[in-house]
Amino acid sequence: MSSDTPEEAPASALETQLLQLQTTFTQLWQKLKMPEPPAPENVVVCGTLYLGESLTSDTLANAIQSRVWFTYRSGFQPIARAENGPGPLAFLGPMLFNAIPNTTVGGVLDNHHFTTDVGWGCMIRTSQSLLANALQAATFGRDHVYAGPDSRLDALVALFADEYTAPFSIHNFIQVALELPLQVKPGEWFGPSAALLSIKRLCDRCAPSETPGFHVLISESCDLYDTEVEAHFARSSQPMLVLFPVRLGIDNVNAYYHSSLFQLLSLEQCVGIAGGKPSSSYYFFGFQDSELLYLDPHNLQAVSTDMETYHTTRCRSLPISALDPSMLIGLALHDLSDYSDLRALLGTTNKIVHFHKEPKRRKSAGDEDYVKVSMPELEGELIDDFVNISDQISDTEGGPEDAEPIVVEPSTELSVDASISKYDIVGHNDVV
């Protein structure tokens, strides 16, 4: 018995499979042709958390642009070559590579005067950025947003102008570094120890009534003492800039310290890190996931008073695993409550910064009961990262310099001797 209905079931099943296959292929092709944008990630900039923001968003662009950014400059007031120091022609390669603006051939070939810091000044520029952003937060508040020309901001940036009359100029950084114990000459690269001692000396020489500044405390051991901080704010309303010169490993930052670095960058008191890679120094101001965000000083610009040249919406990132272990960390304390908040936030969890009620008398190496400190957490890795680098200048107000730096009294602040360059990046070749 025949049926009038054709047998279409097998054909329908095949068509269905083909349609499903076509749909799947079309969806896959659309994804390949127009990939979905990456999901926004959380970003931290100078202690502020931005939830679900990408680096290209207007919010993050404004936050990045609000950082003060110092870079290589050309055409500045000449800096004389030091006796037995490098000459400008030693940096002819990077100068030609960067196509120096507003500089004549005669200026480029002048081997007696520096008129640009191309090839050697990146650590000074990142140190300027750290100090300038600290001053900006102290002057305008930590939530300051750059909104174009501002006479007050102009005045702050003018403190860093490339001339001898500006208190925080590259000229004066070099001038104080030429003094004992550093004796760093023009054209020689600054390490973290030279940078921090220059910051301290320049801030100490500024009259608070004339130039906004900080009381600079250098903690080469990364220890903070309640009595010292309390004593300062009891006698002065001047904010405190705490600088930590650290070496957190041998060739790279030890993973033991990664979370602690991110924690420090998450603090509103943090004003950034001057450090980078063995051949370059950057100004780090935040992070995204495991990537550190930084402003690059290796962008050559002509000397200018145009505020737009001191700001940028573009930043770069560096995996924390690629960070050189030598760096300079800055924390700004506006008042005693700032310190209390900092202590409460870090507590005993941070592996870099440590808090104590007061300094304790330390025994000399000749004492019989001398104790060698060890850190079993590092599982035998070399941890000889922190050394005493006591300065030859006094860090006290109205008190004599400690004749025996191994003994620290509660009323005496630690000072720094940057003649020991343990923290410095060795073999620097600042060529971009």
Among all residues, which ones are annotated catalytic?
A: 122, 296, 298
Please provide the DSSP assignment of 146-175 as one string. --S--HHHHHHHHTT-SSTTSTTSHHHHHH
What's the CA angle centered on 177, arms 419 and 252, to 5 degrees? 55
For residue 191, the cross-strand partners are none
Going by C-alpha positions, the residue among 165, 236, 157, 167 that lies closest to residue 204 is 167
Alpha carbons 282 and 295: distance in angstroms, whole number = 6
Q: What share of the chain is helix, strand, coil (3-state, %, to 5)?
A: 30, 20, 50
Backbone angles phi, psi at 75, to 5 degrees: 85, 20
Residue 274 contacts residue 126 (beta carbons within 8 Å): yes
Going by C-alpha positions, the residue among 268, 290, 238, 252 that lies closest to residue 382 is 252
Using the structure block, give the residue that is written with the tokens 């800039």.
Answer: 241
CA distances, 275 to each of 32, 298, 323, 333 (Å): 39, 13, 8, 21
